[in-house]
Chain A
Amino acid sequence: MGQFLFMAAVFAGAFVVSYLLISKVPTRLHTPLMSMTNAISAVTILGGILLFSAETNPLEKVLGALAIATAAFNAIGGFTITDRMLKMFRRHHE
């Protein structure tokens, strides 16, 4: 139960701090913001990798590899595309 309360606290803390920070993001950055947070949600890749720290049966191997590949697509693609957008934004401010 203590473990669960700790995890709930981590969720609540991160949610509140993020909420406060993101409220300050101007409208013009909302698309890059969503694109970046979308890449962050690919943090599930850690879960996919941890699957392979134990013995895996063939089905688990396939599903785990698929999870890692989709999350890697999401993370690397997401950060790259966000960078492309933000590069355009910065051009006008320098």
Chain B
Amino acid sequence: MNSHWRLLLDFGIIAILLFGVALFRAPRTARAGNLAAALALAGALIAVLLVNPLRDPAVVILALLAGGAAGVVVAMRTKMIQMPAMIAFQHGMGGIAAFLTSLVELNRAGATLPVTGQVAGLLGITVGAATFSGSLIASGKLAGVLRQTPVLLPRHAVIQTTLLVAILALGALVLQAAAPALLYGSLALILVAVALGVVFALRIGGADMPVLISFLNATAGLAAAFCGIIIQNRLLIACGATVAASGSILTYAMCRAMNRSLRLVLMPAPQPPAASPAAPAPPAVAEALPPPAAEKPAEPSAEEAGQPPLERALAALRAAQSIIIIPGYGMALAQAQFELAHLTEKLRAMGRQLRFAIHPIAGRMPGHMHVLLAEAEIDADLLFDLPDINADFEKTDLALVVGACDVVNPAAVEVEGTPISGMPILEARAAKQVVVCNLDANPGYSGVANSLYTNAKTILVLGDAKAALEQLREGLGASSTPS
């Protein structure tokens, strides 16, 4: 095949891929889009196999089958709540593939490569290796294997900067080095980059996880593009650019949702570690707030004081004509989304106006809550994003919070200097009444006490959200049948 045909073929494959991305504009067509992208990649694979006769076809085919089979098995078994951990793990696998390929190509071509190719190779190795280790840490945190709170090493900022400088120095040394030095240099580079990925990802945790996973998405794409430059392959470069663009958009969207600057999430601030919520206990700032309600749930001010919270929640639910449900990650942890779907059906059958308010960081990755609710077959038309629904809370009879804390915490707008200060929140407190079905009244991932819990109009139903929602639904059933 001459080079013109190959250029045309490559651009055809890129066009199909971008068409697939374009189909993600609507849920109805997205599935076809995914298929188009998969076909584009399969087409590219077949083209490469046809054009380049392989020296060791057995090794290639075996590796393809082993990796592919493992991929399918894991993909079919992953639960929707595990999706962020799984996707982070896959970012890591992408990182490995990119840095190994860059490593072998760089050392094989060696000094015959132009300087741009060598630089791209070193960048592919570094970014790939750091993406690999950072993703595995992120995946471990998301899967609950590692502690989810940010881990701050002593002099964290210094360590991170030192590793970055070491990478630059090593890169400069290795650039245009001869055969054995090049290999040892690149291996050292991999070690330092892996260390950087670990140090970098350890410090990020809790509510910042969606930013981290989006950022790793972008770096995995960049690593693929660098790998493409060293082997001068247009497809790798274009695909890498697409992934990098997607990761950048999601990173920006997540930062904006939390009103964070990317720099602050990614680089440790040079302040004493005391200000960071490294321990599960609330940080110093929380002490300035009204005391956490953990010890003693808010006492009702009215005459209903004697009634258990569940009874009062049921009464509030019965009386409400308009309801907004705010689901949080705690709902998914309690596996309460299916029970929530039943309650939703029940309330809608009773003629209530019912909607869901979805905070951008309600899950552990961008769009995660939508996937969890879709799994429970909750009608997607009932789901509203923060900007579209926030003004409606004051006209709403009842806000039902299920397993959410930080995203409804008024401290984010009322108190300066907390980890969530400045983050837009869902204005649950503006509703006429609030029912909170959470496991406990402890602060959320941010470690900041939630003053919504102590608000007089809030009814706290603590304990297993799934059981609480079930009891509420049964209570409603008992009341509505006679009337």
Contact = CB atoms under 8 A, between A and B. Distances in A.
Say whether A associates with B. yes
Interface of A: 3-4, 7, 10-19, 21-56, 60-61, 63-94
A83 B34 contact: yes
13 contacts: A15-B242, A16-B245, A19-B248, A26-B27, A28-B383, A31-B370, A40-B17, A50-B48, A51-B105, A66-B96, A66-B100, A71-B97, A92-B381
Interface stretch (B84-92, B301-309, B328-336): B84-92
Contact of B21 (A22, A31, A44, A63): A22
Interface string B119-137: 0000000000000000000
A73 B243 contact: no
B54 interface: yes
Nearest to A89: B27
A69 B370 contact: no
A34 B227 contact: no
A11 B34 contact: no
B116 to A, nearest CB: 4
B245 A18 contact: yes
B27 A93 contact: yes
Interface string B252-278: 010000000000000000000000000
Interface in B1-47: 14, 17-18, 20-22, 24-28, 30-31, 33-35, 37-38, 41, 44-45
Q: Interface on chain B toward A: helix, strand, loop, or mixed SS?
A: helix
A7 B228 contact: yes
Given A53-B52, A76-B71, 7 more contacts: A7-B232, A30-B365, A32-B24, A32-B371, A56-B56, A87-B31, A89-B30
Nearest to A24: B25
Given A7-B232, A56-B55, A73-B71, A22 B86 contact: no
Q: Size band of the B side of the interface?
A: 35 or more
A49 B52 contact: yes
Interface of B: 14, 17-18, 20-22, 24-28, 30-31, 33-35, 37-38, 41, 44-45, 48-49, 52-57, 59-60, 62-68, 70-72, 74-76, 78, 80, 83, 86-87, 90-91, 93-94, 96-98, 100-105, 108, 114, 116, 213-214, 217, 220-221, 223-225, 227-229, 231-250, 253, 358, 360, 363, 365-368, 370-371, 374-375, 377, 379-381, 383, 385
Given A38-B243, A51-B101, A86-B30, A22 B24 contact: yes
Nearest to B74: A77
Contacts of A65: 59-60, 62-63
A63 B34 contact: no
A92 B377 contact: yes
A75 B74 CA distance: 12
Which residue of B83, B245, B360, B377 has the most chain A CB atoms within 10 A of its CB atom? B245
A68 to B, nearest CB: 4
Given A51-B101, A84-B76, A93-B28, A71 B67 contact: yes
